[in-house]
Amino acid sequence: MKKEGFLYEFKKNKALFAMAAPAFILVLVMQYFPMSGLILAFKEYQYNLGVFGSPFNGLQNFGYLFNSGTGWLITRNTILYNLLNLVTSQLLAVVIAIFITEIRAKYFKKITQTVILLPYFISWVVVGVFVFSIFNYETGLINTMINAIGGEKVNFYMMPTAWPIIICAFNAWKWTGYNSVIYIAAVTGVDGEINEAAEIDGATIFQRIRYITLPSIRPTLAALQGPSSQTRADTVAAMTAALPYMETEIQELAERTAEKLKKLTEDEFAGLVFLPAEDME
C-alpha cells in the first residue's frame, strides 16, 4: 500500500521543509497576520478598548466614507489608475522584453537588462524626492529651465489634471524593468524551432511576434495583470506629497470628522494627546 499524506511527505523531505520554513514564516508574519487588522473597517474604534475590543458597527464606516463625498472619488481613481497602468507599465514591459530577446549582441543585452531593472530597487520615497526635484515650483528642474529662458513658472502641485500622467509615467519607469525580466523568461521559453520554421517560410519579425510570441506568453500576461499593475496609495502619496487634491471633498470630510471628534469620550480624547500640535489644528 502506497503511503501518502502530509506527514509522510514531511518525514521524507525534512531538509526541504526546513529550508522553506524561514520563507513560510516570513510571509505568514509579514503578509497574513497584519490582515487581521482589516476587522477595524467593521468596528467603531475606541482608543480605550483597542482594535479587537471595540464594538462592531457593521457597514457604518463605509456609509460614512461614501457620504463624505470622497468614497466614489477614491473608487474611480483606483480603477482608472490601474487601467492606465495596464496600458503603460505592462504594455511597455512586453515591448521591451520582446526587443531585448531579439538583440543579438550579448553584452549590450546584459547591460540593457541591468539598467532597466535598477529603478525597481529604488524606494518610492526616493522616487518621490526625484519627482519633487523635477516639479517643485521654487527649485524644480523644469521651472528652473523655464525661468532661465524667461518664462513663467508652473505650479504642478496645484494642477490635479497633470498628475495622472506623471504618476503613470514614473510607475511605468519603476515597474517596467521588473516586469520585462519575467516576460523575457516567458519569451525565452517559446520553442525556437517554431520561430525558425516561420522565418524559413518567410514570416517577418512582426508576424512572428504577433502569431507566435504573444500567444505563447498569454498565460504570463494574465498572471501579471494583478499585483504588478496595481497603483498603491503610498505610491501616489510619495510622488504628489498629497497636495493635488480636490479641496471641496477634503473640506467636507474634515467637517464630518470634526463632528465625530466632538463625540469622543474623555478616555478616547486622551489618546490623541500624542499628536503634534499642527495635526490638531
Nearest to 154 by CA among 168, 166, 141: 141
Q: What are phi and psi of 46, to 5 degrees?
A: -125, 130
State which amino acid sits at residue 190: V
The average pLDDT across 54-79 equals: 80
Mean pLDDT of the chain: 76
The CB density around residue 67, as the number of other CB atoms within 10 Å, is 12
Tens of pLDDT, residue by residue over 174-224, are 888 888 888 888 888 887 788 788 888 888 888 888 888 888 888 877 776
The confidence score (pLDDT) of residue 244 equals 52
User: Taking the complete model, does pTM exceed 0.85, yes or no?
Assistant: no
Cα torsion for 141, 143, 144, 147, to the nearest 10°?
Answer: 160
Environment class of 224 (CB within 10 Å of its CB; exposed 0-12, middle 13-18, buried 19+): buried
Element housing 60 (H / E): helix 60-67
Nearest to 167 by CA among 82, 226, 75, 70: 82
| Contact yes or no for 113/197 (Cβ under 8 A) | no
Q: Which residues pair with 46 in a beta bridge?
A: 50
Q: What percent of the chain has pLDDT over 90?
A: 5
Q: What percent of the chain has pLDDT over 70?
A: 78
106-115, 195-204, 255-264, range with the lowest pLDDT: 255-264
Tens of pLDDT, residue by residue over 4-48, are 777 888 888 888 989 999 999 999 998 888 887 788 888 888 878
The confidence score (pLDDT) of residue 255 equals 44
Q: Which residues pair with 43 in a beta bridge?
A: 56
Q: Which residues pair with 251 in a beta bridge?
A: none
Nearest to 213 by CA among 109, 102, 98: 98
